[in-house]
Amino acid sequence: KEDLRELREEPTDPQAQQEIINSIEEVYFSSDSFDIVKYELERLPPVLSLQELEEYRDKLKQQQAAVSKKVADLILEKQPAYVQELERVTSLQTGLQLAAVICTNGRRHLNIAKEGFTQTSLGLLANQRKRQLLIGLLKSLRTIKTLQRTDVRLSEMLEEEDYPGAIQLCLECQKAASTFKHYSCISELNSKLQDTLEQIEEQLDVALSKICKNFDISHYTKVQQAYRLLGKTQTAMDQLHMHFTQAIHNTVFQVVLGYVELCAGNTDTKFQKLQYKDLCTHITSDSYIPCLADLCKALWEVMLSYYRTMQWHENHDQDEEAAVSSDGSNVIGTEENSFDRSYVKKKLEHGLSRIWQDVQLKVKTYLLGTDLSNFKYDDFIFVLDVISRLMQVGEEFCGSKSEVLQESIRKQSVNYFKTYHRTRLEELRMFLENETWELCPVKSSFSILQLHEFKFMEQSRSPSVSPSKQPASAISTAVTLFEQYCNGGNPFEIQADSKDDETEDVLASNGYESDEQEKSAYQEYDSDSDVPEELKRDYVDEQTGDAPVK
């Protein structure tokens, strides 16, 4: 130590001292745990030399002295900074002690305020806040309870057919449910309300389909209001046309099926699986005319419902336009309503021809499904009268000339005329071969207009026909059938009355006072000796264009 102190105290050259420090091996600066003694002992040579050891020892002493000198210089250099930092630490310690005293005093005063004033007042405020929260919770629970019970009220409104009210209530409940969606029980209720709304739409569609056969103003008004609340006015119109098409098909099928099963006389269900075209071929001659009349009546009801539907929309549009003209607010909503009205109007006008085309095709299939050539003359005329009335309905319905019906009835008429003409020729041949000709004994008041075949001339010459035998359309030419029967009745019901008109008896007992005289007179002319040979042939060719009947 004495030697080291002497070495440190000796004045040295800074450069030389730095060189000595630089000559120190790096391993001495590696880590604090480095064992210097062990390291130096391991470096000793196998053969020790005292002189070399002392020289090496002196070198190490010089290095140690240089390092100590350097450290002492650095300490002296940093002494002012150390003193300054120590003063700052002392000042910080004093500030912390003062802060601790202030905090202690503050806590003591806070405890006094808490015990004396704050705890009681804040307790009242906390209780008041809790009360307000509980009141809000109670209100929410009551609303949720009401929402849970809405399904019962919705079912009652659907049974009462109050569709607008049911939809309005359902939409309001959905809005309320979205407000309370943070409650777990509301999520299930929301899905239930959505299912209920879909169920209402399904029942609404069923209610819309009932319009097709029996139009009711109040019922249809409710349905339209409901669709407007749903924002599906255009969808409702599309669905309505589908229902009318389906109603026509179902109506004619059920009418024809009823007559086919009635005539079949059994409960066999095979007829229900037949197509409408095949079903029409099973109609018997006896049930053909009643079935045709009922068919036209049923189709009339469908077309009348469509006509009244159009009337409702026309009146409704006029009322809305009048309301808009008086109140010009909400321009956007007015434009949307105007667009919906325009769409509905075009859809209804386009549907007229489509509905009538379906009616024509169904009646055509029925007309051509049975051979009318063997019908009685009056029955065939009745069929013509019914189809003529139906074509009149079509012209008033959509301005159609009913080409489909005209073509089908023309085919049946040509077929009937050929068969009728051929049959009458056979009958005429029989009379020509077996009877003689003489003036027909008639009453003194006889007129050719009294014959059934010439009755139409009497109607054309004499405008004063009795009201009971006048067609309904002739009573008031200015009134259409739809206007005439809008509130009740059916234009095809009067057809049954006209069928009962029979030609009055114009023969004066065939010119004989009794049937016995008539019989004896026929026996006198029973011989065919006076009949010309040409009338005794197999057939009489009158150039009708038909093939001779053997």
Residues of 87-111 as b/e, b for ≥16 C-beta within 10 angstroms?
A: eeeeeeeeeeeeeeeeeeeeeeeee
pLDDT(513) > 50: no
Cβ neighbours of 239 (radius 10 Å): 16
Contacts of residue 362, defined as CB under 8 A and 6 or more positions apart, other chains included, come to: 248, 249, 252, 276, 295, 299
* Mean pLDDT (whole number) for 51-64: 86
Cα distances from 145 to residues 78, 138, 190, 195, 370, in angstroms, run 82, 10, 13, 19, 66
pLDDT of residue 526: 43
DSSP string, 134-185: HHHHHHHHHHHHHHHTHHHHHHHHHHTT-HHHHHHHHHHHHHHHHHTTTSHH
pTM score over 0.85 = no
pLDDT of residue 365: 93
What is the helix (H) or strand (E) element at residue 125, kind and residue range? helix 119-148
pLDDT number for residue 329: 54
Instruction: Dump pLDDT digits (tens) for 199-219.
Output: 888 888 888 898 888 888 888
Q: What one-character-per-residue DSSP string does 370-387 give? A: S--TTS-HHHHHHHHHHH
**With contact defined as beta carbons under 8 Å apart, do 299 and 248 qualify?**
yes
Of the listed ranges 37-46, 124-133, 283-292, 505-514, the one predicted with least confidence = 505-514
**358 has a pLDDT exceeding 50:** yes
Residue 76: count other Cβ atoms within 10 Å of its Cβ: 9
| Tokens representing residue 33 in the block | 């745990």
Query: What pLDDT is stored for residue 157 in this prediction?
Result: 83
In the chain, % of residues over pLDDT 90: 23
What is each CA distance from 177 to 136, 153, 170, 435, in whole angstroms? 16, 17, 10, 97
Residue ranges of E strands in 279-392: none
Q: Which pLDDT score, from 0 to 100, does residue 118 have?
A: 72
Going by pLDDT thresholds of 50, 70 and 90, the confidence category of residue 90 is very high
Tell me the DSSP string of 364-427. Answer: HHHHHTS--TTS-HHHHHHHHHHHHHHHHHHHHHH----HHHHHHHHHHHHHHHHHHHHHHHHH
> How many residues are recorded in the chain?
550
Residue 470 has pLDDT above 60, yes or no: no
- Average pLDDT on 35-45 reads 82
Residue 10 has pLDDT above 90, yes or no: no
**pLDDT tier at 460, thresholds 50, 70, 90:** low
Q: DSSP letter string over 193-225?
A: HHHHHHHHHHHHHHHHHHTTTS--HHHHHHHHH
94 compared with 1, residue with greater pLDDT? 94
Tell whether the model's pLDDT for residue 349 goes beyond 80.
yes
> Considering only CA atoms, which of 401, 356, 396 is closest in space to residue 481?
396
249 vs 148: which has the higher pLDDT: 249
Range 382-404 average pLDDT: 91
So what's the pLDDT on residue 366? Answer: 92
Average pLDDT over residues 464-493: 63
- pLDDT score recorded for residue 464: 42
Q: How would residue 34 be classed by pLDDT, with cut points 50, 70 and 90?
A: confident
* pLDDT tens by residue, 253-264: 999 998 888 887
Mean pLDDT score, 154-170 = 83
Q: How confident is the model at residue 354 (pLDDT cuts 50, 70, 90)?
A: very high
pLDDT band at residue 103 under the 50/70/90 scheme: very high
